[in-house]
Amino acid sequence: MSKQAWGTPPNAKSKGLETTVSNYESGILISQRHYPGKKLVPVELGEDYSSLLEHEVPIILPFKVPPPKYSDTDKPWCIFG
């Protein structure tokens, strides 16, 4: 886990009142208008997409689509326990 995503724990100087989080995100918009007459197909990173049809364009994503749902046994996580 990176400090950028999860922050750094409070230090003695902040007397436990300050946590630093430096999470910056950027995104890329892939629009259907850039692929007229084509179907955009989400594909997981590493998944074989050689069986796609000629009119299908693979959009390679580093995560599952749709994402898995939380279950009743899932618990929230916090750096402070």
Question: What is the per-residue pLDDT across 43-64, written as a single tens digit (0 to 9) for each?
Answer: 998 899 999 999 999 999 888 8
Tell me the C-alpha distance between 36 and 55, whole Å. Answer: 10
**Count of alpha carbons within 13 angstroms of residue 8, beta-carbon side:** 9
pLDDT of residue 5: 61
Q: Can you give the residue ranges of every domain in the chain?
A: 3-25+32-61
One pLDDT digit (tens) per residue for the chain, 81 residues? 566 566 666 666 766 666 666 666 667 788 889 999 999 999 998 899 999 999 999 999 888 888 888 999 988 877 665
